[in-house]
Amino acid sequence: MTVHAHLQKVKQEKGAGYFLLLDPDKMQAADIVELSGRAEECGVDAILVGSSILINSGFDELIKAIKDATQVPVIIFPGSTLQISKYADAILFLSLISGRNSDYLIGQQVRSAPIIKHIALETLSTGYMLINSGHYTSAEYMSTTHPIPRDKPDIAKATALAAQFLGMPYVYLEAGSGAKAPVPVKMIRDVVDYVDISVIVGGGIRKPEEARERVEAGASFIVTGNFFEEKKNHHLLREFSDAVHCGRSK
């Protein structure tokens, strides 16, 4: 089964899916592997791996080690074309559609496409949208783009619809790693009501109820990263996945 088919099955059967993001620059490799090993029993539906810079080398080895530790699909969430590995199951093939920086809209994609084809890595075409979280994020700095204002759902709706019309099956509403405020629930609801594609939501989600509220608003997939970078929080992984899976109102 392709990763795309797996994710659509998760969405259909569980109402929404839970992605655990592991950043090689923010966690020790041993902790990443240890947490990956517990992902399946804790109800994680996919592991995302990526970083805005990738200071730590050994990306390939790390992906391989994660794959050895878990049966859960491992998806690259790349900060740049340096983050590609044949050991992953798929890659989020992102276009930063909230911005107007041509390199992040299509430049990096042109450079990485032949490499991805060569290693036969599955691509999940995703419209990536930065949403203002009240402070300057790594993604904004690295991409030199402006996020969509958090009180302008109409811009978010139109941008997500453009992703759908461009043939992208996923749109990612991103408040930024460690965001002070996650993507507003109203904006998620407005976007979900307006488009027919899967909506991924991440950035600044630190409580299970914040994840649940966003699933209730219609998000198809919830991403958490920052919160689980601290070992003392690892025991809450099951609570987060339960919140995502029970969140959708019937």
Is residue 75 within the footprint of ligand 1GP (CB under 6 A)? Answer: no
Is residue 27 within the footprint of ligand 1GP (CB under 6 A)? Answer: no
Minimum CB separation of residue 50 from ligand 1GP in Å reads 8
Minimum CB separation of residue 21 from ligand 1GP in Å reads 5
Question: In the set 17, 43, 78, 202, which binds ligand 1GP (CB under 6 A)?
Answer: 202
Residue with tokens 């900060």, as numbered in its chain: 79
Question: In the set 112, 132, 177, 198, which binds ligand 1GP (CB under 6 A)?
Answer: 177
Minimum CB separation of residue 250 from ligand 1GP in Å reads 27
Instruction: Judge contact between 145 and 100, C-beta under 8 A.
Output: yes
Q: Which residue(s) pair with 174 in the sheet? A: 130, 202
Size of the site for ligand 1GP (CB under 6 A): 14
Spatial distance between the Cα atoms of 27 and 186, rounded to a whole number of angstroms: 32
Helix pair 185-194, 208-216: axis angle to 10 deg: 30
Is residue 225 within the footprint of ligand 1GP (CB under 6 A)? Answer: yes
Is residue 204 within the footprint of ligand 1GP (CB under 6 A)? Answer: yes
Question: In the set 98, 123, 224, 241, which binds ligand 1GP (CB under 6 A)?
Answer: 224
Spatial distance between the Cα atoms of 180 and 85, rounded to a whole number of angstroms: 31
Q: Which residue(s) pair with 131 in the sheet? A: 148
Which regions of the chain does DSSP assign to beta strands (E)? 17-22, 46-49, 74-76, 90-96, 122-130, 170-174, 198-202, 221-224
Is residue 108 within the footprint of ligand 1GP (CB under 6 A)? Answer: no
Spatial distance between the Cα atoms of 185 and 199, rounded to a whole number of angstroms: 12
Question: In the set 75, 223, 243, 244, which binds ligand 1GP (CB under 6 A)?
Answer: 223
Instruction: Judge contact between 97 and 163, C-beta under 8 A.
Output: yes
Spatial distance between the Cα atoms of 36 and 67, rounded to a whole number of angstroms: 8
**Using CB under 6 A, which of the segments 4-12, 88-96, 110-118, 175-183 binds ligand 1GP?**
175-183
| Cβ-based nearer residue to ligand 1GP, 45 or 174 | 174
Chain contacts with ligand 1GP (rule: CB under 6 A): 21, 174, 177-179, 202-205, 223-227
